[in-house]
């Protein structure tokens, strides 16, 4: 099973599934979502509307379910090349601005409980390693020591920012972990549920501060949204197209996180205060 929700925003992948719009949910058509960091397209066979008068209209949102059972919500940028042959099968290509993908539920969540975000540089900057790998003389891993990490949590007006530290399995075969890496980031938890736009704005605003402290620009922002419905935890990953697909790895930071960690709450509050004025 492809777990697209666990993909990185710099991965390249394609997803087959059925796609539809809200006003014509019964009309589900097959198609393929193709993701590249600099371009996202949806290629479908058929039309998303049954009424010929509406065929020329471009939907703002397209919903979908993949062959692996993950739910999709696509933010449409524009319609590309379309063919309406008769006889024949009509085809269309949609340019996608961004999309959410995650656990299946009857209705796609509109608001979420929290959002975790990470970048490639953020892990190095924060230095909150959850494990240490020990290698033998041949460079083979033979021991992994796990370490307990004290997680900091700070309050910024009506939401909480909490450090996150975990392990990401990079490759897995026959249930055995082939390789893994540590991932650090932050979790934003508002006092009440918020929509994607709110989380996106607040994540990006915090990243701007991190960019200054690092003296570096983080392009690879991975955002995962979480919500609990009927005592079930649901997870959704946010993907968007990037004008520049730059994956930078820089460890020459202006300020290390451990130097500002003790007063990070003050830094964040002052930073967000400037935005709210």
Average pLDDT for the chain = 85
Rounded distance between C-alpha atoms, residue 91 and residue 88, angstroms: 9
Calculate the alpha carbon distances from 186 to 126, 199, 215, 246 in Å.
Answer: 10, 12, 19, 22
Contact yes or no for 67/16 (Cβ under 8 A): yes
The pLDDT of residue 12 is above 90: yes
- 106 compared with 147, residue with greater pLDDT: 106
Calculate the alpha carbon distances from 64 to 38, 59, 71, 74, 191 in Å.
Answer: 21, 13, 6, 8, 30
Mean pLDDT across the stretch 117-131? 82
Per-residue pLDDT at 52: 46
The pLDDT of residue 276 is above 80: no
Mean pLDDT across the stretch 64-70? 96
Per-residue pLDDT at 171: 57
- 175 compared with 210, residue with greater pLDDT: 210
Q: In this structure, how many other beta carbons lie within 10 angstroms of the beta carbon of residue 81?
A: 10
The two three-digit tokens of residue 37, written as one number: 């960091």
Overall pTM surpassing 0.75 (yes/no): yes
Per-residue pLDDT at 51: 45
Rounded distance between C-alpha atoms, residue 175 and residue 187, angstroms: 29
The pLDDT of residue 165 is above 90: no
Rounded distance between C-alpha atoms, residue 186 and residue 276, angstroms: 21
The pLDDT of residue 24 is above 60: yes
Mean pLDDT across the stretch 100-124? 93
Q: How confident is the model at residue 30 (pLDDT cuts 50, 70, 90)?
A: very high
Rounded distance between C-alpha atoms, residue 106 and residue 219, angstroms: 33
Calculate the alpha carbon distances from 112 to 65, 93, 195, 222, 233 in Å.
Answer: 20, 30, 6, 16, 11
Contact yes or no for 43/34 (Cβ under 8 A): yes
The three-state secondary structure class of 216 is coil
Q: How confident is the model at residue 144 (pLDDT cuts 50, 70, 90)?
A: low
Q: How confident is the model at residue 145 (pLDDT cuts 50, 70, 90)?
A: low
């Amino acid at each position: 099973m492809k777990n697209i929700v666990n993909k990185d925003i710099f991965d390249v992948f394609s997803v087959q599934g059925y796609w539809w719009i809200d006003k014509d949910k019964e009309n589900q058509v097959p198609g393929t979502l193709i993701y590249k960091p600099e371009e996202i397209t949806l290629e479908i066979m058929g039309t998303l509307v049954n009424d010929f008068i509406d065929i020329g209209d471009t939907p703002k949102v397209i919903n979908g379910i993949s062959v692996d059972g993950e739910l999709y919500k696509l933010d449409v940028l524009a319609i590309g090349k379309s063919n309406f042959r008769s006889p024949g099968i009509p085809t269309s290509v949609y340019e996608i601005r961004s999309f959410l993908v995650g656990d299946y539920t009857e209705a796609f969540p509109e608001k979420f409980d929290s959002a975790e975000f990470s970048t490639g540089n953020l892990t190095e900057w924060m230095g909150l390693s959850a494990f240490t790998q020990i290698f033998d003389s041949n460079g083979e891993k033979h021991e992994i020591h796990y370490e307990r990490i004290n997680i900091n949590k700070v309050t910024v007006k009506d939401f909480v920012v909490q450090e996150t530290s975990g392990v990401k399995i990079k490759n897995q075969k026959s249930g055995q972990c082939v390789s893994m890496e540590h991932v650090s980031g932050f979790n934003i938890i508002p006092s009440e549920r918020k929509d994607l736009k709110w989380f996106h704005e607040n994540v990006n605003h915090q990243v701007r501060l991190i960019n200054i402290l690092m003296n570096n620009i983080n392009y690879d922002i991975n955002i995962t949204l979480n919500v609990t419905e009927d005592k079930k935890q649901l997870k959704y990953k946010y993907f968007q197209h990037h004008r520049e697909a730059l994956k930078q790895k820089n460890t020459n930071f202006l300020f290390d996180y451990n130097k500002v960690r003790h007063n990070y709450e003050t830094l964040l509050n002052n930073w967000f205060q400037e935005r709210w004025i």
